[in-house]
């Protein structure tokens, strides 16, 4: 059965730039190592995609709607359905003095934020800095190899997958169908500012992705750390 908007699926994927066949991203650890893009600490496993919610580029989203669980497909996505065409107006010249005012010493390849927009420094010459606000993959055709590994149907599984995508793992999840309430419990010893930020954003993602949930209750359980045994 083909997939449709709103479906929660997990996919394995790899993406290459067509122009030079360079591997850009992959969920395959071995492939990442073979192509020199392996990142220590990164998780290489199927990722959650909610179809129709812009989790992936348009071309991949449309391809998924024609696929079924366990199906594998290779597609080429043109720029208009990937990261768009390059826009020359997004290449700007800024006085070097403006960077110095912010205690920034720009260099080619440096990624900076300009009024909340990410840009890449292309060159620094004669007191002028050329920056490019285009997405680095704008104008590029991309080849994707995709496999749908799983479709999630239970609301509990969907919420768990959303939380794990944020980098947090609930200890329990229950759904009250009468009130459409999701009750999510966390039990962890390490509650950092980053953890709290991810947890506080969880309801927003649940409401964005799931029409079946009207209320989210989050409970934290604190467990005393185990004492180290004396030697």
Which has the minimum average pLDDT: 7-16, 112-121, 221-230?
221-230
pTM of the model: 0.86
Q: Which two tokens stand for residue 177?
A: 């169908």
User: Could you read off the pLDDT of 107-145 as tens digits, one per residue?
Assistant: 999 999 988 899 999 999 999 999 999 999 999 999 999
pLDDT at 136 (0 to 100):
94
pLDDT at 227 (0 to 100):
73
Cα pseudo-dihedral 38, 145, 11, 57, rounded to 10: 100
110 with 163, same domain: the answer is no
Please give the biggest Cα pair distance in the chain: 68
In whole angstroms, what is the distance from residue 20 CA to residue 144 CA?
14
Report, as an integer, the average pLDDT of 69-81: 98
CATH of the domain at 60: 3.10.50.40
Nearest to 148 by CA among 220, 77, 71: 71
Residue 185: inside a domain: yes
Print the domain residue range for 190. 154-226
Residue 231: inside a domain: no
In whole angstroms, what is the distance from residue 25 CA to residue 16 CA?
7
184 with 212, same domain: the answer is yes
Is pLDDT of 189 > 70? no
pLDDT at 230 (0 to 100):
58
69 with 144, same domain: the answer is yes
Q: What are phi and psi of 220, to 5 degrees?
A: -105, 130
Tokens 């009468």 map to which residue? 178
pLDDT at 192 (0 to 100):
86
- The dihedral built from the CA positions of residue 4, 7, 9 and 13, taken in this order, carries a sign that is positive
72-101 in b/e form (b: 16+ CB < 10 A) is: eeeeebebebbbbeeeeeeeeebebeebee
In whole angstroms, what is the distance from residue 118 CA to residue 22 CA?
23
163 with 205, same domain: the answer is yes
Is pLDDT of 101 > 80? yes
Q: Residue 51, SS3? A: coil
Residue 98: inside a domain: yes
């Amino acid at each position: 059965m083909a997939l449709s908007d709103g479906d929660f699926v997990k996919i394995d994927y790899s993406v290459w730039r067509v122009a030079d066949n360079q591997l850009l991203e992959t969920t395959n650890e071995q492939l990442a190592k073979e192509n020199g893009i392996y990142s220590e600490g990164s998780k290489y496993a199927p990722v959650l995609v909610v179809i129709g919610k812009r989790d992936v580029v348009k071309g991949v989203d449309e391809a998924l709607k024609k696929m079924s669980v366990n199906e594998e497909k290779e597609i080429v996505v043109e720029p208009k359905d990937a990261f768009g065409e390059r826009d020359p107006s997004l290449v700007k010249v800024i006085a070097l003095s403006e960077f110095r005012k912010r205690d920034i010493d720009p260099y080619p390849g440096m990624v900076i934020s300009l009024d909340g927009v990410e840009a890449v420094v292309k060159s620094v010459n004669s007191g002028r800095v050329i920056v490019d606000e285009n997405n680095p993959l704008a104008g590029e055709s991309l080849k994707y190899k995709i496999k749908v590994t799983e479709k999630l149907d239970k609301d509990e599984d969907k919420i768990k997958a959303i939380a794990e995508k944020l980098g947090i793992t609930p200890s329990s999840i229950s759904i009250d169908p009468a009130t459409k309430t999701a009750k999510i419990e966390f039990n962890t010893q390490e509650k950092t500012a980053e953890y709290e930020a991810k947890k506080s954003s969880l309801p927003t993602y649940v409401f964005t992705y799931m029409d079946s949930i009207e209320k989210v209750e989050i409970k934290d359980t604190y467990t005393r750390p185990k004492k180290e045994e004396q030697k």
